[in-house]
């Protein structure tokens, strides 16, 4: 496993982005990069700021799930967006596409998207996204948390997660360069945010290309009720579109939905 730690100057070197990575902070350890980023998000001048950490003591995913990561094993970061007019559903799609493209291929496996916020390699979770927001008079303020498993071995994960979670190193059988991946991630997020603003259909088309769920039967919980049906698409404002087993078509937004299978 490479021992090189993340260095903000190395990440910024030759980083050609318009918005993301204007300022980069790297913490040795923190409770959660989202918590730190949320404090910086109170100042609109911090739009595009990125917070990285080598380890987190209280990393979290959706619905309070714990994010497991040892020191210097992952990309753990949060991005600040202020004054955004983008809806939460489209932002979720955009970030998933950006993370999947940044990871690309690991060995023979191509990174794919499992709606709403997981990125997969060979059917196992390799990355997750947590978007938290605060509405403001000048537009929404978002903190986009991203975690990508890089150097973990199978035994790095809790026993109950070993069959459903993986890392880039495990899939590629080589050591991931975290600094290169961090640069690629920020570049990809910057590119796809621009695309979402100018032409959201490009994001939707790429999500469709990378989705592991499109065209497959899905069972989910929406506000505590179970629904099942065939995934037939995505709406940038209303979420996942299912052709229900019981008949009819229904949309499910990410905030109130949990995928069961």
Same domain, 226 and 197: no
What's the CA gap between 18 and 109, in Å, rounded?
30
One-character DSSP codes across 193-229:
HHHHHH-HHHHHHHHHHHBSSTTSEEEEEETTEEEEE
Q: Are residues 198 and 246 in the same domain?
A: no
* The pLDDT value given to residue 1: 46
Q: What pTM was computed for the model? A: 0.94
What values do phi and psi take at 131, rounded to 5?
Answer: -105, 125
60 and 148 assigned to the same domain: yes
Do 222 and 145 share a structural domain? no
Complete edge-to-edge strand list for the sheet that includes strand 24-27: 24-27, 50-53, 74-84, 140-149, 124-134, 118-121, 112-114
Is residue 3 included in any domain, yes or no? no
- Average pLDDT of the chain is 92
Same domain flag for 174 and 253: no
Quote the number of domains for the chain: 2
Residue 176 belongs to some domain of the structure: yes
37 with 13, same domain: the answer is: yes
Q: Which two tokens stand for residue 194?
A: 């621009």
Distance CA 67, CA 149 (A): 10
In this predicted structure, the answer to whether residue 136 has a pLDDT above a threshold of 70 is no
DSSP-derived 3-state class of residue 121? strand
Asked if the structure places residue 2 within a domain, the reply is no
Residues 226 and 156 in one domain: no
Q: Are residues 165 and 250 in the same domain?
A: no
Query: Which candidate, 72, 130, 137, places its Cα nearest to that of 99?
Result: 130
Q: Are residues 18 and 144 in the same domain?
A: yes
Helix, strand, coil: what percent of the chain each, to 5?
30, 35, 35
Residue 231 lies in a domain: yes
pLDDT in tens, 175-191: 999 999 999 999 999 99
CATH number of the domain where residue 13 is located: 3.30.930.10
**Whether 234 and 130 share a structural domain:** no
Are 203 and 218 contained in the same domain? no
pLDDT at 2 exceeding the cut of 80: no
pLDDT digits over 231-253, tens only?
Answer: 999 999 999 999 999 999 999 99
Domain, as residue range, for 252: 213-259
Q: Which CATH number covers residue 236?
A: 2.30.30.100
Based on the fold, state whether residues 101 and 26 are members of the same structural domain. yes
Cβ-defined contacts of 240-246 (< 8 Å, 24+) = 240/115, 240/116, 240/213, 242/218
Q: Hey, is 92 helix, strand or coil?
A: helix
Contact partners, residue 3, CB within 8 Å, separation at least 6: 72
């Amino acid at each position: 496993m490479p021992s090189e730690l993340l260095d903000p100057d190395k990440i910024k070197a030759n980083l050609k982005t318009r918005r993301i990575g204007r300022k980069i902070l790297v913490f040795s350890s923190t409770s959660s990069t989202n918590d730190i980023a949320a404090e910086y998000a109170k100042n609109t001048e911090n739009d595009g700021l990125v917070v990285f950490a080598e380890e987190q003591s209280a990393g979290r995913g959706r619905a309070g799930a714990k994010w497991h990561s040892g020191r210097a094993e992952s990309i753990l970061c949060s991005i600040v967006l202020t004054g955004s007019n983008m809806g939460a559903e489209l932002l979720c799609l955009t970030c998933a596409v950006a993370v999947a493209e940044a990871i690309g291929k690991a060995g023979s496996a191509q990174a794919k998207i499992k709606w709403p916020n997981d990125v997969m390699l060979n059917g196992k979770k390799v990355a997750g996204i947590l978007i938290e927001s605060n509405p403001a008079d000048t537009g929404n303020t978002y903190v986009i948390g991203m975690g990508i498993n890089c150097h973990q071995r199978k035994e790095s994960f809790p026993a109950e997660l070993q069959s459903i979670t993986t890392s880039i190193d495990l899939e590629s059988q080589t050591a991931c360069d975290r600094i290169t991946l961090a640069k690629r991630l920020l570049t990809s997020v910057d590119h796809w945010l621009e695309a979402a603003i100018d032409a959201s259909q490009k994001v939707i088309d790429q999500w469709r290309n990378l989705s592991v769920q499109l065209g497959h039967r899905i069972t989910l919980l929406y506000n505590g009720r179970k629904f099942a049906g065939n995934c037939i698409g995505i709406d940038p404002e209303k979420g996942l579109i299912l052709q229900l087993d019981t008949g009819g078509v229904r949309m499910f937004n990410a905030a109130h939905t949990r995928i069961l299978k």
